[in-house]
Amino acid sequence: DQQVKQNSPSLSVQEGRISILNCDYTHSMFGYFLWYKKYPAEGPTFLISISSIKDKNEDGRFTVFLNKSAKHLSLHIVPSQPGDSAVYFCAASGTSGSARQLTFGSGTQLTVLP
């Protein structure tokens, strides 16, 4: 059973518009959520994170929103740029007594069209 789900395998957005990537999770005990970006032939790169005690975290063009009641988080990228085209992974930590283990979603391929 997937504890972290990204139900959209792909998303296409026009340059300059907003990209919204979604993630759902099942465990209420997750304490920390992260987004990673991955380009082909490279390892995932940390993008932004949010603690479960917050509902929003912003860093430049990137904002992560957390809705604990719905067990849902989203990543907003505004404005989207062609260089943002990559696979985005949602990850969660803090289950099974270990704050360091990350559980990853399956990823969403974002394509930003020029």
Partner 1 sequence: DAGVIQSPRHEVTEMGQEVTLRCKPISGHNSLFWYRQTMMRGLELLIYFNNNVPIDDSGMPEDRFSAKMPNASFSTLKIQPSEPRDSAVYFCASSPRGAAAETQYFGPGTRLLVL
Q: How far is the CB of 100 from partner 1 (least distance, A)?
A: 6
Name, in order, each residue with C-beta under 8 angstroms of 79's C-beta and a sequence gap of 6 or more.
15, 16, 17, 18, 61
Nearer to partner 1, 63 or 103 (CB): 103
Q: Which is nearer to partner 1, 19 or 95 (CB)?
A: 95
Q: Cα separation of 80 and 20, whole Å?
A: 10
CA 91/CA 79 separation, integer angstroms: 23
* In the complex, least distance from residue 16 CB atom to partner 1, rounded to whole angstroms: 29
Chain positions contacting partner 1, by CB under 8 A: 32, 34, 36, 41-46, 49, 89, 93-94, 98-107
